[in-house]
Chain A
Amino acid sequence: MRVLRIAFLNIYFYLAFVLFSINSFAALGSLFIVLAIILPKRQAFKRLRRMISWYGAVIIRILPFPFVRIDYKDLTDQGQEEGPYLFVCNHRSASDPFLMAIFPYEIIQIVNIWPFRVPFLGFIAKFAGYLSVREIPFEEFFQKSCSLIQQGVSIAVFPEGTRSRNKTLGQFHSAIFRVALETKCAIVPVCITGNELIPPIGSGLLHPGVIKIHRLKKITYDEYSNFSPFKLKNYVRDIIAEEVKLMDQEK
């Protein structure tokens, strides 16, 4: 029975994924051209980034439902404040970037090289300002990231740099924390569990499951202004590690 469920989920999901993506990219491209004509560039890009988030939300919340469910908890007491924020997440699965659609902000992501190589998706992401940290010098990454935050764009980042092969949280890279110190942007720790098999590393096979996402209390510049980049990255890492451990222990 389980094998049948997995087979059905994957056949149905990937078929729907391809069809929805082709149609979305066609619609997105056309709409952006219209927006770019009638709106200032900044506004056109703002809408493009929101549309990418809606695309991601359909991919992760609607298409695999009810086999894959999202259990999102906002553990802040701050409500939906205006951004921008630096969303700092742990990284276990290739589905993580799609999960960022859960946040209702204009958002770009810091990605590794491979997402930019995905046909169409990679092109749109690059065009929308997503940054491939390994393909550009740090100075360029730093300048572009600061500029985006100053424009009000939130950034989602997976500072482990690569998916963890077990449930241990990897060491964090400090690049984005240097951006935080420069821009004084609030940092939001985000913990993701349950998607280790959605899909597993080295495979595209989706397994049914519940993906838990916890948005933790933001860390403001006042709290970290006297930290070094090294101390800041480990401070955020410890917060995420503690919450992820609790989430893994929950049934």
Chain B
Amino acid sequence: MTEQEAIKMVNEVFVDSFEIDPSKLKPEANIFNDLGLDSLDIVDLVVALQKKFGVTLRSDERIRNIRTLGDIHQFIFTLKKELNK
């Protein structure tokens, strides 16, 4: 999976599961302040990402450091790369 593919698929999750306008999906967008997710929505997001990418995220400590959409792109891309090694 290329980085661009990871970005595209993560953004699809935000559009499909949260109906967020694609124009708001900028890498620097803060997922809480700019996209409007709260801690409960994050649980829904994790479930949707797990389903989309076929990975387990809940136990991954790195998820706690995520603040922006770009962080999620990077996290998913890195995770998929690690799994494919």
Nearest Cβ on chain A to B35's Cβ, whole angstroms = 9
Q: Are A178 and B40 interface neighbours, CB within 8 A?
A: yes
A156 to B38, CA, bound (A): 20
A231 touches B38 (CB 8 A): no
Question: Chain B residue with minimal CB distance to A172?
Answer: B36
Asked if B5 is an interface residue, CB under 8 A from chain A, the answer is no
Residues of B within 8 A of A172 (CB): 36, 38
- Could you tell me which residues of chain B, from 39 to 85, have a CB within 8 Å of some CB in chain A? 40-41, 44
Contact B18 A173 (CB under 8 A): no
B20 CB to nearest A CB, Å:
8
**Judging by beta carbons under 8 Å apart, are A231 and B36 in contact?**
no
Interface residues of chain B: helix, strand, loop or mixed (majority): loop
Contacts of A228 in B (CB 8 A): 17-19, 44
Is A171 on the interface with B (CB-CB < 8 A)?
yes
Interface check A229, CB cutoff 8 A: yes
Answer whether A171 and B36 are a contact pair too, CB < 8 Å, given A229-B41, A230-B41: yes
A175 at the interface (CB under 8 A from B): yes
Instruction: Assess A229 versus B33: contact at CB under 8 Å? Given A171-B38, A173-B38, A174-B38.
Output: no
A234 at the interface (CB under 8 A from B): yes
Q: Please give, as numbers and ranges, the residues of chain B lying within 8 Å of A173 by CB-CB distance.
A: 38, 40
For the complex, is A123 an interface residue (Cβ under 8 Å from B)? Answer: no
When A and B form their complex, what is the total count of cross-chain residue pairs whose Cβ atoms lie within 8 Å? Answer: 34
Q: Is A138 an interface residue (CB 8 A)?
A: yes
Residue of A nearest to B20 (CB): A230
**Residues of chain A contacted by B37 (CB below 8 angstroms):** 230
With both chains docked as a complex, state the minimum distance between the C-beta of A232 and any C-beta of chain B, in angstroms: 11
Query: Within 8 Å CB of B19, what residues of A?
Result: 228, 230-231
Interface positions, chain B 1-33, Cβ under 8 Å from A, are 17-19, 32-33
Residues of A within 8 A of B40 (CB): 138, 173-175, 178, 229
The complex places the Cα of A90 from the Cα of B40 at a distance, in Å, of 20
Q: What is the bound-complex CA distance between A230 and B48, given in angstroms?
A: 13
Encoded as 1 (CB less than 8 Å from any B CB) or 0, chain A from 214 to 251 comes to 00000000000000111101100100000000000000
**Among A172, A178, A229, residue most surrounded by chain B Cβ atoms (within 10 Å):** A229
CA distance A234 to B17 in the complex (A): 14
A237 to B18, CA, bound (A): 15
A186 to B58, CA, bound (A): 34
Alpha-carbon distance between A172 and B33 when the two chains are bound, in angstroms: 10
- New A-B contacts (7) at CB < 8 Å, excluding given A174-B40, A230-B19, A233-B36: A171-B33, A172-B36, A173-B38, A173-B40, A174-B41, A175-B40, A230-B17
